[in-house]
């Protein structure tokens, strides 16, 4: 977790930031379901980027992730909750 401080000011309140959550991931295969439940954790990815809040007016955000997973470079698009944007 990242702690943010302002020089010259004492912290007034310590708040635990709400972490990014992946709910579903979007598949690109034609012969299978397009959306699957996610079992991946955001912390395993090297880079995570918020593409759009409230994607198509839904309760989910559109999130892009990429990185080396199990020795292979992978990319994925998730529906989830960006929350406070921390892993």
Residue 30 lies in a domain: yes
pLDDT of res. 22: 94
Structure tokens at 49: 């980027």
Assign residue 85 a region (left: φ > 0; alpha: ψ between -120 and 50; beta: otherwise).
left
Per the structure, the count of domains in the chain is: 1
**Residue 39: inside a domain:** yes
Please give the residue that has the higher pLDDT: either 48 or 28: 48
Assess if residue 4 is contained within a domain: no
Choice between 50 and 5, residue whose per-residue pLDDT is larger: 50
Residue 7 within a domain: no
Does the global pTM surpass 0.85? no
Q: How far apart are CA 71 and CA 79, in angstroms?
A: 24
pLDDT at position 7 over 80: no
Task: Decide if 55 contacts 62 (C-beta within 8 A).
Answer: yes
Q: What is the pLDDT of residues 24-33, one digit of tens each?
A: 988 766 656 6
CA distances from 22 to 3, 4, 82 (A): 23, 24, 8
Can you give the residue range of the structural domain that contains 74? 21-81
């Amino acid at each position: 977790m990242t702690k943010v401080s302002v020089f010259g000011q004492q912290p007034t309140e310590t708040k635990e930031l709400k972490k990014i959550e992946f709910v579903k991931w979007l598949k690109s295969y034609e012969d299978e379901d397009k959306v699957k439940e996610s079992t991946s954790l955001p912390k395993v990815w090297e880079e995570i980027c918020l593409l759009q809040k409230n994607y198509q007016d839904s309760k989910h955000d559109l999130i892009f992730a990429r990185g080396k997973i199990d020795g292979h470079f992978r990319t994925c698009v998730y529906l989830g909750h960006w929350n406070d944007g921390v892993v």
